[in-house]
């Protein structure tokens, strides 16, 4: 099966062409200067004459049957109100599936853990700490997807009060105090810029370019919010597995901080916590798995 998979995030758009599960082409573009027409052009160029059996889109935002509606309108306004499904189906003459980026990543991480020697998870949460805080859930072995696309946006539950994260900062969803507005890459970049008195991104926290005491303090405050998020999800869903992803979540030092800060209760075992096995590819990989499953179901029903 030949699948064109696209992961649309707040910072970058990743396009991958899979031929029978093997990557044949891969490109990455910045989301900021993107338009829908430019993205389609780039995808067309990347695919060239290769055959496409399905187009699989994973995107940040509330993803419904045919559209992508960003909660954070400052990053993906260019995709809002486009009929993504119909337009890509016309373009590539193939069926199109759309899914939220973190949900796709959760499904990829679930699939790679169902074949191997570790115990298979039934309930898995994927938490991406990147531009925003994304969350995807696989419950009883199935990805959780709701009609409006809002399900699993757990980055927008209230965080815990902390001197490092400003209580009054308004989140991209319009509310003050969300975990996303306290702990995401965008939030860390803002907090760090204030501390060092110049415009920098969260990347500087991990490359040794800012004083260690500052980066340790901000990373640990962010990790505390994520530990709180994981605890809330675990007490609600009884998770077997939590997977961290995203440019910040994939940092090994971040994982160890989250683990150390996780609340442990005497009578309750916590979930296993690991970084994404698929790394930065979990979104495209999960979208491709979902498209493949859909295609097989359609063929069986024909």
List contacts with ligand BMX (CB under 6 A).
Answer: 9-10, 60-61, 70-72, 75-76, 100-102, 128, 130-134, 153, 155, 180
Nearest to 183 by CA among 157, 216, 159: 159
Q: State yes or no: residue 153 binds Zn ion (CB under 5 A).
A: no
Q: Which is nearer to ligand BMX, 9 or 121 (CB)?
A: 9
Point out which residues pair with 139 in neighbouring strands.
Answer: 142
Of 67, 113, 156, 234, the one binding Zn ion (CB under 5 A) is 156
Q: Which is nearer to ligand BMX, 10 or 94 (CB)?
A: 10
Binder of residue 178, out of ligand BMX, Zn ion, none (CB less than 5 to 8 A by kind):
Zn ion
Quote the CA–CA distance of 65 and 243 in Å, as a whole number. Answer: 26
The region of 82-90, 107-115, 174-182, 248-256 touching Zn ion under the rule CB under 5 A is: 174-182
Binder of residue 171, out of Zn ion, ligand BMX, none (CB less than 5 to 8 A by kind):
Zn ion
Measured from the Cβ of residue 250, the count of other Cβ atoms closer than 10 Å reads: 18
Of 4, 105, 171, 248, the one binding Zn ion (CB under 5 A) is 171
Point out which residues pair with 268 in neighbouring strands.
Answer: 265
Contact by Cβ (8 Å): 152, 135: yes
Quote the CA–CA distance of 273 and 173 in Å, as a whole number. Answer: 27
Q: Which residue has the tokens 């003050």?
A: 176
Site for Zn ion in 92-151 (CB under 5 A): none
Please tell me whether residue 133 adopts helix, strand or coil conformation: strand
Q: State yes or no: residue 219 binds Zn ion (CB under 5 A).
A: no
Contact by Cβ (8 Å): 137, 166: no
Binder of residue 276, out of Zn ion, ligand BMX, none (CB less than 5 to 8 A by kind):
none
Quote the CA–CA distance of 182 and 222 in Å, as a whole number. Answer: 7
* Buried b or exposed e, range 271-297, using 16+ CB within 10 angstroms: bebebbbbebbbbbbbbbbbbbeebee
Least separation, in Å, of the C-beta of 77 and ligand BMX? 9
Q: Which strand (E) or helix (H) includes residue 36?
A: helix 36-47
* 54-59 and 96-100 beta bridge pairing: parallel
Binder of residue 134, out of ligand BMX, Zn ion, none (CB less than 5 to 8 A by kind):
ligand BMX
Cα-flanking dihedrals φ and ψ of residue 7, to 5°? -115, 110
Least separation, in Å, of the C-beta of 2 and ligand BMX? 26
Binder of residue 100, out of ligand BMX, Zn ion, none (CB less than 5 to 8 A by kind):
ligand BMX
Q: Which is nearer to Zn ion, 16 or 135 (CB)?
A: 135
Least separation, in Å, of the C-beta of 128 and Zn ion? 15
Closest residue by beta carbon to ligand BMX: 132
Binder of residue 54, out of ligand BMX, Zn ion, none (CB less than 5 to 8 A by kind):
none
Q: Which is nearer to ligand BMX, 94 or 280 (CB)?
A: 280
Least separation, in Å, of the C-beta of 226 and Zn ion? 15
Question: How many Å separate Cα 203 from the centre of its chain?
Answer: 17
**In the complex, which residues of this chain contact Zn ion (CB under 5 A)?**
156, 171, 173, 178, 180
């Amino acid at each position: 099966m030949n699948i064109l998979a696209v992961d649309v995030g707040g910072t970058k758009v990743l396009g991958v062409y899979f031929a029978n599960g093997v990557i044949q082409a891969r490109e990455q573009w910045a989301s900021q200067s993107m338009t829908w027409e430019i993205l389609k052009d780039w995808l067309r160029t990347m695919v060239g004459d290769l055959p496409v059996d399905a187009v699989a889109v994973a995107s940040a935002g509330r993803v419904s049957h045919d559209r992508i509606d960003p909660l954070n309108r400052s990053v993906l306004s260019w995709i809002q109100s486009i009929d993504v499904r119909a337009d890509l189906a016309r373009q590539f003459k193939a069926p199109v599936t759309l899914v939220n980026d973190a949900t796709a990543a959760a499904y990829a991480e679930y699939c790679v853990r169902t074949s191997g020697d570790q115990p298979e998870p039934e309930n898995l949460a994927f938490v991406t700490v990147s531009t925003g805080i994304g969350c995807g859930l696989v419950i009883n072995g199935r990805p959780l997807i709701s009609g409006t696309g809002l399900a699993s946006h757990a980055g927008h539950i209230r965080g815990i009060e902390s001197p490092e994260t400003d209580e009054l900062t308004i989140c991209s969803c319009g509310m003050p105090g969300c975990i996303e507005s306290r702990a995401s890459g965008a939030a860390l970049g803002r907090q760090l810029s204030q501390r060092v008195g110049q415009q920098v991104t969260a990347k500087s926290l991990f490359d040794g370019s800012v004083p260690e005491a500052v980066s340790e303090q901000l990373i640990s405050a962010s990790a505390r919010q994520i530990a709180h998020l994981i605890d809330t999800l675990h007490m609600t869903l009884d998770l077997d597995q939590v997977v961290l992803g995203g440019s910040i979540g994939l940092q090994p030092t971040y994982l160890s901080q989250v683990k150390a800060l996780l609340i442990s209760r005497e009578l309750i075992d916590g979930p296993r916590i690991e970084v994404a096995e698929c790394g930065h590819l979990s979104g495209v990989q999960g979208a491709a798995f979902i498209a493949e499953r859909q295609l097989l179901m359609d063929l069986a029903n024909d």
